[in-house]
Amino acid sequence: MEPSALGPLRRIADRVALVLMFFGGSLFLAATLLIVGDVIARNFFGFSTRSTIELSGYFLAIGISWSLAGVLARRAHIRVDLLVRKLPVAPRAVAHLMAFVLLCIFAGFLGYGAWLLVDESLMFNATDISALRAPLWIPQALWAGGLFFFLFCVLLRTLDILLLTLAGRFEDVDRVAGARNDMDEAEETLEAIGAREALRR
Amino acid sequence: MIAIVFIFGVIGAFIYATIVGAGPAHLPWAEAIMLIGLFLAFFGAGVHVGAALGCLGLVAGFLLSERPFWLYIGQTLWTTNTNFVLVSVPLFLLMGEIMLRAGLSNRLYSAMGVWLNRFPGGLLHTNIASCAVFSAISGSSVATAATMGSVALPYFRGTHHNPRMVLGSLAAGGALGNLIPPGITFIVYALITETSVGALYVAAIGPALLVVALFALVIIVHGFRHPAPAGPRATSAQKWQSLLDLIPTLLLMGLVLGTIYTGVATPTESAAFGVVGALLLGAWERKLSWPLLRDSLSGTALATSMIGLILLGAYLLNFVLSSVGVPQALASAVGSLPFPPWVLMLFIIGFYIALGTFMEGFSMIVTTIPVIFPLVKALGYDPIWFGVIVTMLVEIAMISPPDGTILYVLQGMRQPPGPIEDVFVGVMPFLAVYIFAVFLLLWQPGIAMWLV
């Protein structure tokens, strides 16, 4: 289990993030069924929802934004940490902290941009061009919600890293902030095919 | 290190060209050099790739743009995130996840072995061939190498095969993952450059066949130089059984690639059919279960969102850069350099090989293509052809010592353990022919373009 200076708070957020990531993935299955259903209906039964392109696009955007926090919880967001890994633990902890502060800024701007977008769609009562004439604020708000939750999780993790750094727990900082690497991806692949013992680290 | 030297070399060439008066002087040099410096600092300090690109975009925006660019961020990101072509990325990933968990890799390998083990080089051919088939299902090179490596390595334990060749051929096979359609790299390249995914997949056929043939040639030469007792001759019953084992995989491959190539379906639609096909295959194998579905969906969400954060950052950066006209300015600056196009193309190829030694392939493409692509077009090269070249370079980067990620994946799996140099030496001949294939493609673009 990952160490934390915030007690159970961050772990609960991580747990929620992983559940949300599963729902994000389920949206991709929903998009699959929608697309396949529409192609079959179009070719064999002569009708179409004429909203598949828009709806599956919404599923994609929402699926991505809902999963961002889960990827963070799994420490899987990609970093080029070749140089960082070669630093001694204390400066490395500072580098981790800096990286997370920049991630906060970026996530903040994403949330802000999404907020402006939803606000504008509400103001103009904007609808999409599909057959549904769906009000755009609904998918956009779901998308923005994922980005807000991501921002919340990033802030929480950054705070955690800050506290751990101040407490001098540099090894723990590494375990909270350090990136998952390609070995981990390979390990997960092998776990998926049930050949876990094949990988010797 | 090579990369940094290279980048400074390119900057140096630019400055030289400006001094001798060949380049246009209207580029904002101070800002440009500051941004490049910031870019290097961010990546050196290990900032998340998405955040590095996004923050760079914000800095560039506040520095160069006179408009309130932040008002348009939401709209830009929303439009690009809901793109129907991009929907194919999670769907191809989901198909791969389900197939991986449905346990077809072992059967695929042994079925291929029955047909290939009597050629000179024996079972080594099976490594390449089964990786090639697996690549047609999976879009990830690391996953291809890990999966086929875990299946293949036990077969070689206690045989006369040189472990270097075994590891080298598996690494080479893994480096086919993205080149053989359907690869994720092509989809993202197509999105950024507004080219057709279908055309890229068609253009990849020739080069993919070329690389596979060159790999087979390496193994045959090795087989003649180190003759070994041929494997046991398979009975015709075994041969028929192996064909039966291959049929489901080949059917799914045919379904996905066939619908794309014949134009019956868009890549997104055939990806959706691929997912349904993989589910049916899983049900047929009696492997379909709730844990399988749950893990596949979570795994897909993870991989998609990893890519997603980088894309969000890249789109933000691209939006700012193109709104102030940086790529266009750069393209015209390079176009006026006193070098012939092929010299610059060699520069670009060298740049990617250098960058690839330390940067993960996907981030590399997303980061560089928006700036490099207008330049390539200005030089008069074909966008589809260049997409194939870039994908090959990304694959080469993954098997280049000393940092190629696939090499370490295999090193971590081998039993009994040995020095990493075995993998380095083993992959060398394959690496050499892969690079040779790139130059062949540079010399004869027709290898990719004859079908397009």
Interface membership of A1 toward B (CB under 8 Å): no
**Whole-number mean pLDDT of chain B?**
83
Within 8 A of B312 by CB-CB distance, chain A residues are 110
Q: Considering only residues B17 and A159, tell me which one the structure prediction assigns the higher pLDDT.
A: A159
Q: What pLDDT is attached to residue A69?
A: 95
**CA–CA distance, B102 with B289 (Å, rounded to integer):** 10
> pLDDT band at residue A201, thresholds of 50, 70 and 90?
very low
pLDDT at res. A1: 64
**How many of the other CB atoms lie within 10 Å of CB of A11?**
14
Q: Which residues contact B99 (CB under 8 A, 6 or more apart)?
A: B137, B138, B249, B252, B278, B281, B282
pLDDT tops 80 at residue B427: yes
Task: Answer whether A93's CB lies under 8 Å from A174's CB.
Answer: yes
Decide if pLDDT at B351 tops 90. Answer: no
Chain A interface disruption, residue of B78, B94, B142, B266, most A CBs within 10 A: B78
Band of residue A22 on the pLDDT scale cut at 50, 70, 90: very high
Task: Specify the pLDDT at position A31.
Answer: 95
pLDDT grade, residue B1 (50/70/90)?
A: very low
User: Quick one: what percent of chain A has pLDDT higher than 70?
Assistant: 91
Long-range contacts of B262-265 (CB under 8 A, 24+ apart): B263/B198, B265/A39
Q: Give the confidence band of B22 by pLDDT, cuts at 50, 70, 90.
A: very low
DSSP letter assigned to residue A41: I
Both structure tokens of A45: 């039964």
CA–CA separation, A22 and A16 (whole Å): 10
- Compute the distance between CA of residue B138 and CA of residue B93 in angstroms, rounded to an integer: 7
Given an 8 Å threshold on Cβ–Cβ distance, is A57 in contact with B82?
yes
In residues, how long is chain B?
A: 452
Cβ neighbours of B87 in A, within 8 Å: 31, 35, 56-57, 59-60
A89-124 vs B73-81: helix crossing angle, rounded to 10: 90
What is the C-alpha to C-alpha distance for residues B406 and B409, in angstroms, rounded to an integer?
Answer: 5
Greatest extent of chain A over all pairs of C-alpha atoms, in Å: 67
CB contact under 8 A, B94 and A110: no
Res. A92: pLDDT tops 70: yes
Average pLDDT on A45-67 reads: 89
Preceding peptide of B402 cis, ω within 30°: yes
pLDDT digit string, tens, across residues A175-186: 888 876 666 667
Rounded to whole angstroms, the Cα distance separating A105 from B232 reads 63
CA–CA separation, B406 and B78 (whole Å): 34
Range with the largest mean pLDDT of B52-61, B93-102, B352-361: B52-61
> What pLDDT score was predicted for residue B237?
81
The predicted-structure confidence for A100-143, as pLDDT tens digits, reads as follows 999 999 999 999 999 999 998 888 888 887 777 788 889 999 99
**What is the full DSSP assignment across A123-158?**
HHT-B-SSTT--BTHHHHHHHHHHHHHHHHHHHHHH
Distance from CA of A165 to the nearest CA of B (A): 17
What confidence score (pLDDT) does residue B198 get? 86
Kindly report the nearest CA distance between residue B68 and chain A, in angstroms. Answer: 12
* A112 interface with B at CB cutoff 8 Å: yes
User: Which of B58, B272, B360 is the closest to A35 by Cβ?
Assistant: B272
**What is the dihedral sign for C-alpha A147, A152, A158, A160?**
negative
- Are residues B305 and A53, on separate chains, in Cβ contact within 8 Å? no
* Residue B270 reports pLDDT greater than 60: yes
Residue B103 near residue B141, CB atoms below 8 Å: no
Residue B398 has pLDDT above 90, yes or no: no
Give yes or no for residue B23 having a pLDDT over 60: no
Q: What is the token pair recorded at B396?
A: 């080469």
Decide if pLDDT at B24 tops 50. no
Judged by a CB distance cut-off of 8 A, whether residue A53 touches chain B is: yes
- Per-residue pLDDT of B96-124, as tens digits, reads 888 878 877 778 888 888 888 778 777 88
What pLDDT, in 10s, does the model give residues B296-337? 999 899 988 988 898 898 888 888 887 877 777 777 777 677
Q: What pLDDT sits at residue B169?
A: 93
Name the pLDDT band for A195 (thresholds 50, 70, 90).
Answer: low
Nearest beta carbon to residue B297 from set A26, A84, A194: A26
Let me know: does B401 contact B427? Beta carbons within 8 Å. yes
Query: In the predicted model, is pLDDT for residue B230 greater than 70?
Result: no
